[in-house]
Amino acid sequence: MDLTVQQFKADFFKALAHPLRIRILEVLSQGDKNVNELQSIIGSEGSAVSQQLSVLRSRNIVKGTKDGNKVTYSLCDPAIPELLNVAKQIFNHHLIDTISMLDKVNDDNMKAMS
């Protein structure tokens, strides 16, 4: 078995394993932004945004392009928005399953009380 691909996947998902990094990718899915724009949209301190961008850059998930005295960030791979959408769909499926389970428990409790 080729562990190289599995290691790449593990490292890739580790790089995504932070809520602020996910939010940055969601914003960049809408278009390229500089740190100030990201900070404004996300509502987080610039240092936190810069730190998370550094992690994403180190894994080649985002890239920075110098534009005068600003750096504009963009996604390295156009499939990132699709990946985020699939993750949201999986979350929604889990949420629907949980709600269904809670509804069943509530129904069972109501029947037991009758």
> Is 38 within 8 Å of 52 (Cβ atoms)?
no
pLDDT in tens, the chain (114 residues): 578 999 999 999 999 999 999 999 999 999 999 999 999 999 988 799 999 999 999 999 999 999 899 999 999 999 999 999 999 999 888 777 777 777 777 777 777 777
Measured distance CA(4)–CA(2) in Å, rounded: 5
* pLDDT at residue number 52: 96
Q: What's the token pair of residue 31?
A: 């278009």
Q: What is the pTM of this model?
A: 0.79
